[in-house]
Chain A
Amino acid sequence: MADFNVNVRGVGSVNVIELNGYLDAHTAPMLESTFNKLIEENNFRVVVNFETLNYISSAGLGVFMAYVETMRDNKGDIKFSNMQDNVYNIFDLLGFPMLYEFFKDESEAVEKFNEQGLNK
């Protein structure tokens, strides 16, 4: 079926997860293991770049809900960036923008983390 890729890269102290393809119940475990690995390595500042993500199902949304608390408890966060409109609509209907920070561009999200870092 539709395929899905996860790619992680470090930008300073922030880790950027790039999503590609279709994120649904079948592919969600890949993203989960990515988050698990980040937490294992004590990386709690995460930006998820949605630029090449075409579709997200409720199971995909659930992944972020499951990990955001751990990140925030450890002075980190999950921030979203570069979302396509159809994907953003789904987040928007659910009310995610009230709970998560969304950015037009990945660099803005990274910048936000760095500012927070300075404030600490």
Chain B
Amino acid sequence: MIKLLSQLSRARKLENSIFLLIVLFVYKIIFPTLSSVPILIVNELLLLSVIFFIIAYTDDFISDKIDSPIAIVLNVGILTAVLFFIISLSSALFEESAALTEGADFIITILLTLLAFVFVGSLTYIFSGFRSLFFLRQKKEPKKLFNIMMFLIFLAAFSSAIVKMDSSTEYIYNTFYVLSIILISFNSLRVSWIAFLIKKQKLYLLIISIVLSALFAFNFALIISDVFIIRVLSGFSPSLLTFLNLIMLYGLIYFGVIFFTTLFHLPTAEAFDRKAEEVSSLIDLSKLITQVFDFKELADTVTKMTTKVSNSDSAWLVISKDGSLELASINNIGYLEADEIIDAIDWSKFDNNNEVTLLKKNNFSKAKGAALKKNHFDCIALAPLKVHNKLSGYLLAGRKDNYEFDSDDKKSIGAFADYAAVALENAKLFKESIEKERLEKELDVAREIQYKIIPSKTPEFEKLKISALFIPAFEVGGDYYDFFEVDKNKMGFVIADVSGKGISAAFIMAEVKGIFESLSRLIDSPKELLVNANEILKNSLDSKTFVTAIYGVFDTEKGKLLFSRVGHTPVHVLRNNNVKRLTPGGIGLGLDYTDKFSKSIKEMEFDLINDDILVFYTDGVTESQDENNNDFGTDRLDKLLVENSDKRIENLSNEIMKEITVFSKNKAQHDDITMVIFKWNLSKNKNGEN
């Protein structure tokens, strides 16, 4: 039956209740007095089923409030108070007019029925309230006990109606009544939910429970005396009266029990509150760890919660950075004071400690204890932050009073330290991944700059064939080459390598391009041009950065090259299957800004003969490495040049590229690879082939 009921939807239960109420109402109008046995029995059955269905409905309704038992208690209290007022007020007003109890008048019948309905409603709600409180915080649902009690109450109520017809059956009623009271008393002991209230709520409940048990007692006392309303209800239905009687008794017993239980719980209320706070703080903290990646914010939360939960006066967090300890967060203590105490502690003792350690005033030497004394700390708890057995810092909590930290305090400080350690690790990892992402974005920008700076194609001349090869490194190495039209038969050429990597190298590259582009129009002499470039770069290069370069001017008609080298790799010249390296002197740009620089630069003139191949490159070519850290080197380069000298220069540079790729296939390319190859070709063959 109950199972069936619980399957009904809430709306369904309400419908049933209302339907039965209306039936009962109509029935009452038709049979205003309980003059015969069948009428009485039908009346009682109707009433009890109304109560049953309303209980089923309100039960659902109250279970929404299950999280605030105080609210349920208050609702019960208010309804009890209402009943109290109706009972005492009606008694005072209508005591003398006995006629009302006869129930003969139609309108009076309606009024009295409605009054009875108020009682029905209030009582069922109160009963549901008790039911909810009974089941609250019960791990094993002792449904049976409650249902038996409910059943007994109903039986007692029904049998009271039978007693009215046949007084010889009173012993049956008495039996059910007494059994009901026994179960009510027994069920009233289920008040474990009180333990879960916070101290303030417990105090509140203490007051409410005493007021309520008094109210229930008053009601009970009024019911068993023969007042007006009792006569009305007994005229309406004897069962209802018994139900009222038992509910009031239930309330009296229940709130009496609540009062004493709460009273006994009060001394431990504070400890319970603290435990509950610790648990909820830890839950909050673990949520924070997964949501917040700002370490400072997390650290502040940790110190704040530690202070609160461990009942300490202050808490502070230190993290080890590059071997020294750094204050990360403070709570209720000044930075200077916290620092003073950190300095006073002999940290080396705790390196291998996994436990929370207590430091008392007398653990410190006199000189160092002064810092503690000055700040009035009597005891400091120290918990290491460890993740994967790696120490990352300490959480400290200090107490100013004479009470030491007990084992519970130590445990909670330890727990917070563990969380802080994980949070620290998380925040660090997150920061690293952000940093990595930022770096990658930055490198994308740098690569884009580099691609815009480097010419997309090589110029073409009748006698001078040019092929360029450029492979940027992931990190952007700062390589640059360019061609400038100086006048009709003269072409300027530059190859340069900015030290450093990434976006800073790319920016300097852009500046270098601007410098060479403008100076190539103004200055013919490569040496002079480089001296000027050095002068200009002085303002933009930091002391660690330098630029190596070769600047030269080709006479594309006469086959002459005038060039200077500043710190750059040599020019390799392939002539008659022989490689010669040209290395005129010159200090790199940015290394020196005195006249030593200009003095160091030599200018070299080179006359080209047919089939001469000139190779300009950056150190990314020769410093490409294999898996054993061997450099590609200049000799390997020269050998390749000789072997492939008969090829078209496009194929030559492809061949070199292929060799470098094979050579360094097991190693990441860490610098840009740039190579520009010139071939002086007098034959009519346009492709520069022999």
Which single member of A62, A69, A86, A94 contacts B567 (CB below 8 Å)?
A: A94
* Mask of A40-74 contacts with B, CB within 8 angstroms, 1/0: 00000000000000010011011101100100000
Q: Is the CB of A93 within 8 A of B499?
A: no
Further pairs besides A61-B546, A62-B500: 9, Cβ < 8 Å: A25-B501, A55-B629, A62-B543, A62-B545, A66-B542, A66-B543, A93-B570, A94-B567, A95-B566
* Known contacts A59-B499, A62-B500, A96 near B543 by CB under 8 Å: no
Is A118 positioned at the interface, with any CB of B under 8 Å from its CB?
no
Which residue numbers of B lie inside 8 Å of A, CB to CB? 497, 499-501, 542-546, 548, 566-570, 583, 585-588, 590-592, 596, 600, 629, 631
| Nearest-neighbor residue (CB-CB) of B505 within chain A | A58
* Known contacts A93-B569, A93-B583, A62 near B544 by CB under 8 Å: yes
A-B contact pairs, 16 of them (CB 8 A): A58-B497, A58-B500, A61-B546, A62-B543, A62-B544, A63-B544, A66-B543, A69-B543, A86-B631, A94-B587, A94-B588, A94-B591, A95-B592, A98-B587, A98-B592, A99-B587
Which single member of A25, A58, A98 contacts B546 (CB below 8 Å)?
A: A58
* A65 CB to nearest chain B CB (Å): 6
* Mask of A84-108 contacts with B, CB within 8 angstroms, 1/0: 0010000001111011000000000
Which single member of B570, B585, B631 contacts A95 (CB below 8 Å)?
A: B585
Q: Is the CB of A65 within 8 A of B543?
A: yes
Q: Which of A59, A63, A93 gathers most chain B CB within 10 Å?
A: A93
* Mask of A15-31 contacts with B, CB within 8 angstroms, 1/0: 00000000001000000
Contacts of A2 in B (CB 8 A): 629
Contacts of A62 in B (CB 8 A): 499-500, 543-546
* B490 CB to nearest chain A CB (Å): 27
Q: Is the CB of A61 within 8 A of B499?
A: yes
| Nearest-neighbor residue (CB-CB) of B543 within chain A | A66
Total number of A residues with any Cβ neighbor in B under 8 Å? 18
* A79 CB to nearest chain B CB (Å): 16
Contacts of B590 in A (CB 8 A): 65
- Complex Cα distance, B585 from A2, in Å, reads 33
Q: Which of A59, A66, A69, A95 gathers most chain B CB within 10 Å?
A: A95
Q: Is the CB of A66 within 8 A of B588?
A: no
Contacts of B591 in A (CB 8 A): 65, 94-96, 99
- Complex Cα distance, B587 from A63, in Å, reads 17
| Nearest-neighbor residue (CB-CB) of A90 within chain B | B619
Q: Which of B497, B546, B569 gathers most chain A CB within 10 Å?
A: B546
Sorted nearest first, the 5 A-B pairs with minimum C-beta distance are A95-B587, A62-B544, A58-B499, A94-B567, A66-B543
Contacts of A86 in B (CB 8 A): 631
Contacts of B497 in A (CB 8 A): 58
Which single member of B500, B501, B544 contacts A66 (CB below 8 Å)?
A: B544
* Known contacts A2-B629, A58-B546, A62-B544, A98 near B568 by CB under 8 Å: no
- Complex Cα distance, B500 from A40, in Å, reads 26
Contacts of A58 in B (CB 8 A): 497, 499-500, 546
- Complex Cα distance, B583 from A25, in Å, reads 27
Q: Is the CB of A93 within 8 A of B587?
A: no
| Nearest-neighbor residue (CB-CB) of A98 within chain B | B600
* A20 CB to nearest chain B CB (Å): 15
* A114 CB to nearest chain B CB (Å): 25
Contacts of A98 in B (CB 8 A): 585, 587, 592, 596, 600
Contacts of B570 in A (CB 8 A): 93
* A48 CB to nearest chain B CB (Å): 16
* B148 CB to nearest chain A CB (Å): 78
* B426 CB to nearest chain A CB (Å): 25
Contacts of B501 in A (CB 8 A): 25
| Nearest-neighbor residue (CB-CB) of A94 within chain B | B567
- Complex Cα distance, B470 from A87, in Å, reads 26
Q: Is the CB of A99 within 8 A of B568?
A: no
| Nearest-neighbor residue (CB-CB) of B322 within chain A | A33
Contacts of A96 in B (CB 8 A): 587, 591
Contacts of B583 in A (CB 8 A): 93
Q: Is the CB of A94 within 8 A of B543?
A: no
Contacts of A65 in B (CB 8 A): 543-544, 546, 590-591
Q: Which of B585, B591, B631 gathers most chain A CB within 10 Å?
A: B591
* B305 CB to nearest chain A CB (Å): 37
- Complex Cα distance, B545 from A66, in Å, reads 9
Q: Is the CB of B499 within 8 A of A99?
A: no
Q: Is the CB of A95 within 8 A of B629?
A: no
* A120 CB to nearest chain B CB (Å): 22
Q: Is the CB of B592 within 8 A of A94?
A: no
| Nearest-neighbor residue (CB-CB) of A69 within chain B | B543
- Complex Cα distance, B618 from A5, in Å, reads 28
| Nearest-neighbor residue (CB-CB) of A99 within chain B | B592
- Complex Cα distance, B600 from A22, in Å, reads 29
| Nearest-neighbor residue (CB-CB) of B475 within chain A | A25
* B477 CB to nearest chain A CB (Å): 9
- Complex Cα distance, B497 from A93, in Å, reads 13
Contacts of A63 in B (CB 8 A): 544
Contacts of B569 in A (CB 8 A): 93
Q: Is the CB of A93 within 8 A of B567?
A: yes
| Nearest-neighbor residue (CB-CB) of B498 within chain A | A58
| Nearest-neighbor residue (CB-CB) of B502 within chain A | A25
Contacts of B585 in A (CB 8 A): 95, 98
Q: Is the CB of A95 within 8 A of B543?
A: no
Which single member of A25, A59, A93 contacts B568 (CB below 8 Å)?
A: A93
* B614 CB to nearest chain A CB (Å): 18
| Nearest-neighbor residue (CB-CB) of A89 within chain B | B634
- Complex Cα distance, B497 from A58, in Å, reads 10
* A70 CB to nearest chain B CB (Å): 9
- Complex Cα distance, B583 from A47, in Å, reads 28
- Complex Cα distance, B590 from A95, in Å, reads 11
| Nearest-neighbor residue (CB-CB) of B629 within chain A | A2
- Complex Cα distance, B600 from A98, in Å, reads 8
Contacts of A59 in B (CB 8 A): 499-500, 544
Q: Is the CB of A95 within 8 A of B499?
A: no
